[in-house]
Amino acid sequence: MKRGLIVYLADSETVPDGFKPEEAVATLASPCDVAVLAASSEGFYGIPEAWHLLLTRGMQEISCVRARLNELGRLELFGQSLRLCG
């Protein structure tokens, strides 16, 4: 079963210049096949768009988890993940 993960950036107002979402989610230690970064600020996917993207990429199980940027500018997951489907 293919697993997808939506990483929701809780405080997207503090995103530094030059931040690359694809690289940030690639460094996460998460047991998923594809991870997508979502945030409320402009330029990021919303959760519904990220969910649809993962579904169209063939993910059967999709979860969502919150994240924040630490002082080094890396994503840090916190809280429980929420299984959206599958």
Our CA angle for 70, 68, 46, nearest 5°, is 145
Question: What is the number of domains present in the chain?
Answer: 1
The confidence score (pLDDT) of residue 3 equals: 93
Per-residue tens of pLDDT for the chain, all 86 residues: 899 999 998 876 767 777 777 788 888 877 889 999 898 877 788 999 999 999 999 999 999 999 988 888 788 888 898 998 87
Question: What is the rounded CA–CA span in Å between residue 59 and residue 9?
Answer: 21
Residue 71's domain comprises: 3-85
DSSP string, 2-71: -EEEEEEES-GGGPPTT--HHHHHHTS--S-SEEEEEESSTTSB-HHHHHHHHHHTT-SEEEEEEEEE-T
